Structure 1
Amino acid sequence: ELWLFCTGSPILILFPNGLVLLADLKVDCGRDSVTLRWGAAQSQMDTSLLRLGGCYPSSISAGEAMFQVEFSDCNFSRLVTGDTLMYMNELIYMSGPKAQLKSFSHPVVCAYERPADWAPRMFDPVFHTYGEGDLVFHMELMKDDFSGPHLSREYPLGSFIHISAAVEQMGHQPLLLLLEECVATTTPELQSEGPVHPIITNKGCLVASKNSKFEPRQKTSEIRLSLQAFKFAVGKEVYIHCNLLAWDPSGLDTSKKACHYVKGHGWALLDDPYHSTLCGCCDSSCEPWKTSGIASGKHGSTQSAVLIGPLVITDNSPA
């Protein structure tokens, strides 16, 4: 029988500048998931900046945010001690450098009675920890709200092409899915000759259009892209080729990232806006940091080339 460790009491946080935040944090632990509700009395707080591990809020409203996630997502850690099984994470608030309310974090714990027949799976830790096993990658065209596959393959010029990519993590540690490179062509094969339209270049820089963007993540193992239909091979069949990369969420650098352009702010890092300096190379050439100590053998690089299409971009404007 499971027992739940949940919180539902006011939280008082004191910052160095003397600002006090009073909030209610309620955690409802399920068998394989958790629902977390955060309510803050401070009106200057932007609840969209809250993160549970690597996950964005499932819904937000004035002064409130809610997360509904599974323990397999959001970088939860699992700890077994004696008769107790615990899933642990952190609720993080990432404010801007000039914001009055500074960044903070708060622990989130779900504790259970360890089932009598529970035992950790026996596996080769190198195989699973470093992602050297087979992974299954998916990519498809989606409806505007990403609720299902897009039924039409025609996109008027200027409309948005919504793309979802995902990796099935199987028994691996939590993986962060990135779109490393994407191009559009008029053939299902990448050829040395023929027109090519760059979409994502420079190891994760979305360059196709300043109006295109990565959508907030729902899961670390999924990435969503809203791509404005571009003037390329109008009226012809278009194919989109992408190189997908499954990576350790803690191992981002200039060659492992997801960057898009935000009007008025410049290049922004999807997964951690505070480290958007990683995107500073998007207008030049992105190379790994030599001092970062990051290597594919350590952080688990697993790649796959994926193709979607054909789709057709139409131009109905008067000649």
Structure 2
Amino acid sequence: MVSFLKQGVIIFAVIATFVNTDIDVDCGKDYVTVKWRVHPDLVSNAARLFLGNCLPSQFIVLPTGGEAIFIYSLNDCKFKRLLTGNRVIYTNQLTYRPYGKPEPAVFTYQIKCVYNGSEELDPRFLQSAYGSVKGNGELVFHMGLLNENLTAMARTNVILRGSFIPIWAAVEQGDHQPLLLLMDECVAALTAELQPETQVYPIITNHGCLVDGKAERSKFLSRYHSSAIVLYLNSFKFDMGQEVYIHCNLVAWDPEELNESRKACHYVEENEQWELLDDVLQSSLCNCCDSKCSSRLKRGVPSEPQGLVQNSVIGPLIIVEN
């Protein structure tokens, strides 16, 4: 156990009382209620109890100690969302921080809410064969341009300069286990076919690192389903009037076997760090994005490299002045 020195006194006895701490978690439809009964010694320090970055909604003093009550939306308190197949998983942590950051929390407790997805997670355009490429086995891949509302396939290939280009990709997986769709590599080019001499603009490199996000604010949008991904690409980089093609390698992968060579990472400017799209708690997998990520693969999908599609392409896209 880590000891903390404050005013010459080693404080650790209070921490030990958390081992049998009474915590109740009630996962509502779109919110969570957490009741955390704490030791009497902590009643005067209730402002150091957190759910994510949220303070208790209410604190009740009891004869036997105190009860911190957290009632928050799953969109608050920095809840992390993970999608696996049709399951939606929200995770967070209860923490006790007697000292301010950067000192670590002396107690943490994992909060987890699991929900079954619904058909509302699957927009109608998931069934579209637009830009489909048949992969190995029963996997069928789709890639296309969405409209600005992200509700259907775009009706035009004309993009206003300064707007974002929503590029959607998905995989129909048949009888396979639930798979996670990843963009392993994406580049922009002025031709529909890539040749060795073709000049390209790198968008995603290094096995899933959205390098364009550091300079141009491009990002991955939150997933509505593990079998689909949306790349939100800034159009500022492209010259007006040119025909632009987006080439991507798509990979269907076991969501439980993410590693440096199978991941989706984007740069979050406000945090000044790389984050893993599908589980922020595993963002250490993105640490290699500024250097070189390992190409060593774990065996995730049967008959590897099941699901790899080379040079999936959409275009031409035409950038025009607003």
Determine if the TM-score, normalized by the shorter chain, exceeds 0.5.
yes
- After the TM superposition, which residues 3-82 of structure 1 pair with which residues of structure 2 at under 5 Å, given as runs? 16=18, 22-26=24-28, 36-40=29-33, 45=51, 63-65=72-74, 74-75=84-85
- CA RMSD between the two structures: 3.5
Residue equivalent to 1:8? none
Residue equivalent to 1:262? 268
Contact 1:235 1:314 in 2 (8 A): yes
Contact 1:39 1:64 in 2 (8 A): yes
1:268-307 Cα distance to aligned partner (Å, 9 max, x none):
1101111111111111111145xx8546657764111311
| In 2: Cα distance, 1:214 partner to 1:228 partner | 11
Higher helix share: 2
Q: Does 1:304 align with 2:309?
A: yes
Contact 1:44 1:101 in 2 (8 A): no
| In 1: Cα distance, 2:140 partner to 2:252 partner | 10
1:293–1:194 distance in 2 versus 1, CA, 3 Å: closer
| In 2: Cα distance, 1:106 partner to 1:295 partner | 25
1:220–1:213 distance in 2 versus 1, CA, 3 Å: same
Give aligned pairs, total: 239
Residue equivalent to 2:91? 93
- After the TM superposition, which residues 103-252 of structure 1 pair with which residues of structure 2 at under 5 Å, given as runs? 103-105=110-112, 133-210=137-214, 211-252=217-258
- After the TM superposition, which residues 252-291 of structure 1 pair with which residues of structure 2 at under 5 Å, given as runs? 252-263=258-269, 264-288=271-295
How far apart are 1:38 and its partner, in Å?
A: 3.6
| In 1: Cα distance, 2:88 partner to 2:156 partner | 41
**SS of 2:169 mapped into structure 1:** strand
TM-score w.r.t. structure 2 length?
A: 0.63
Q: What amino acid does structure 2 have at the position aligned with 1:260?
A: H
Structure 2 residue runs of 5 or longer lacking an equivalent are 1-16, 36-48, 54-70, 76-82, 96-103, 117-134
How far apart are 1:40 and its partner, in Å?
A: 2.2
| In 2: Cα distance, 1:65 partner to 1:144 partner | 26
1:30-60 Cα distance to aligned partner (Å, 9 max, x none):
xxxxxx444326796469xxxxxxxxxxxxx
Contact 2:181 2:252 in 1 (8 A): yes
Larger-Rg structure: 2
Contact 1:180 1:243 in 2 (8 A): yes
1:162–1:92 distance in 2 versus 1, CA, 3 Å: closer
How far apart are 1:190 and its partner, in Å?
A: 0.8
How far apart are 1:158 and its partner, in Å?
A: 2.4
Structure 1 residue runs of 5 or longer lacking an equivalent are 1-14, 27-35, 48-61, 67-72, 77-88, 110-130
1:260–1:168 distance in 2 versus 1, CA, 3 Å: same
1:133-191 Cα distance to aligned partner (Å, 9 max, x none):
13110011112331011223222332100111100011110000000111111111112
**SS of 1:282 mapped into structure 2:** helix
Q: What amino acid does structure 1 have at the position aligned with 2:233?
A: L
| In 1: Cα distance, 2:290 partner to 2:94 partner | 23
1:293–1:63 distance in 2 versus 1, CA, 3 Å: same
TM-score w.r.t. structure 1 length?
A: 0.64
Q: What amino acid does structure 1 have at the position aligned with 2:112?
A: S
**SS of 2:246 mapped into structure 1:** strand
